[in-house]
Structure 1
Amino acid sequence: MQFTLIATALMAFAASAVSASPVSNEARMILDVWAPKIISPNATTVWAEGQQYNVTWDTSDAPVNISNGAAVRLGKDKVLTNTTLASGFDLRQGWVTITCPSDVIPGDDYSIILFGDSGDQSEQFTITETLESVLGF
């Protein structure tokens, strides 16, 4: 008897889930995915460890609704790292100031990944040591 009640309840739940109405066009517009083109850094950019820089992106085609919080993360050799450089800003702003990490290995295979509605990756650029770290002060 209990088995029959549980089976009936599960079937009723499944039937109600299947008969849910489709997503309206208005709801789909709220969930628009936007992957803005990152303008800077680009392939000619060189950052020095510990210095501040602006990450910029094109906002000309930004949707009205951006559903997720924004974040800028560092990539190395086309792979996302655990280094978050900025978060909690408005993507419609088109830029955010970050500090280049001091604990990275200098190289020419870094990128920026911009998160919001979608992740977008910059061209690879170079991070160098600061003059102070090279000279030891």
Structure 2
Amino acid sequence: MQFTLLASALMALAASAVSASPVSNEARMILDVWAPTIISPNASTVWTEGQQYNVTWDTSNAPVNISNGAAVVLGKDGKLTNTTLVSGFDLRQGWVTVTCPSDVIPEDDYSIVLFGDSGDQSEQFTITTSLEGVLSDL
């Protein structure tokens, strides 16, 4: 009986070792995760609703393979919103132009989340209304 139990345990161990084979180097390259540092917007950035701005990030350590499509999503108070500003661009480009939404509440707790192989969040920045921008220029 002990022999049968031991043999069964060894067979189960051998089967699990086969199914847990290591990932090949080729598959590992496809699974590379890259979270580029967002350069702009940053803490001193002020966007005005309805205007266009460049979102920029560091590409110096970009992997050869980026497995997912890219997107820039607006964040608020450290959380994601449902507002995708742009998608479908090449992350290796290092920048993309977005339009600041005109249906947001002007505040200083917005951020940009850059998605591709991984998500990376910018520093919080300010969005103002076009009226506030005009008044501050006076």
TM tier relative to shorter chain: 0.7 to 0.9
5 Å-filtered alignment, 1:20-31, equals: 20=19, 21-31=21-31
- Give TM-score, length-normalised by structure 1: 0.82
CA distance in 1, matches of 2:48, 2:124: 15
Any gaps of 5 or more consecutive residues in structure 1?
Answer: 1-14
Any gaps of 5 or more consecutive residues in structure 2?
Answer: 1-14
CA distance in 1, matches of 2:134, 2:92: 38
Counterpart secondary structure, 1:19? helix
Superposition deviation, residue 18 in structure 1: 6.5
Amino acid in the other structure paired with 2:58: D
- Give TM-score, length-normalised by structure 2: 0.81
Counterpart secondary structure, 1:110? strand
C-alpha offsets along residues 59-111 of structure 1, whole Å, 9 cap, x if unaligned? Answer: 00000000000000000000100000000000000000000000000000000
Amino acid in the other structure paired with 1:76: K
CA distance in 2, matches of 1:96, 1:134: 26
CA distance in 2, matches of 1:36, 1:43: 17
CA RMSD of aligned residues (A): 2.0
Runs of 4+ in 1 over 2 A off after TM superposition: 17-22, 131-135
